[in-house]
């Protein structure tokens, strides 16, 4: 912030001693020290807040990007599932509903009258 060296501080102390006197100088120095301490703490708090906001902004960008990518993948999966479902429906239209492993019953094997003979 300010570039204040030892000689400037010594000069201010001598001027303060001459102007204020030895009785009031320690009280004024304590008061000024308290103001400087509060100003530093406020500055540090402000700096930490700004840094945390910047870090949060740096983290939120990749999270948003990843979220959009996941949403796109979800839409692609839904489209793929819909296409597979449509293809499956198209394949089953016009096909036999009987199992392909079982032989089809022969109408000539059935006895007359549609009843089986049990003896």
Q: What is the pLDDT of residues 47-70, one digit of tens each?
A: 999 999 888 878 878 888 888 999
Contacts (Cβ under 8 Å, ≥6 apart) of 54: none
Answer whether 16's CB lies under 8 Å from 26's CB: no
In angstroms, rounded to a whole number, what is the distance separating the alpha carbons of residues 72 and 66? 10
Rounded to an integer, the average pLDDT of 12-34 is: 89
Lowest mean pLDDT among 21-25, 54-58, 97-101: 97-101
Q: What is the pLDDT of residue 46?
A: 95
Exposure on the CB side of residue 111, measured as CA atoms within 13 A? 5
Provide the pLDDT confidence category of residue 71 given band limits of 50, 70 and 90. Answer: very high
Answer whether 28's CB lies under 8 Å from 20's CB: yes
Q: What is the pLDDT of residue 41?
A: 96
In the chain, where the domains are located: 8-87
pTM: 0.43
In angstroms, rounded to a whole number, what is the distance separating the alpha carbons of residues 47 and 95? 73
């Amino acid at each position: 912030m300010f570039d204040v060296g030892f000689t400037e501080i010594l000069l201010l102390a001598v001027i303060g001693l001459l102007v204020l006197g030895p009785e009031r100088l320690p009280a004024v120095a304590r008061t000024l020290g308290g103001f400087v301490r509060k100003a530093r703490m406020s500055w540090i708090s402000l700096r930490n807040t700004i840094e945390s906001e910047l870090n949060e902004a740096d983290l939120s960008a990749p999270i948003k990007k990843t979220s959009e990518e996941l949403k796109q993948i979800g839409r692609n999966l839904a489209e793929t599932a819909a296409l597979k479902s449509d293809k499956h429906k198209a394949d089953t239209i016009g096909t036999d509903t009987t199992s392909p492993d079982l032989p089809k019953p022969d109408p000539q094997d059935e006895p007359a009258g549609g009843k089986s003979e049990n003896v």
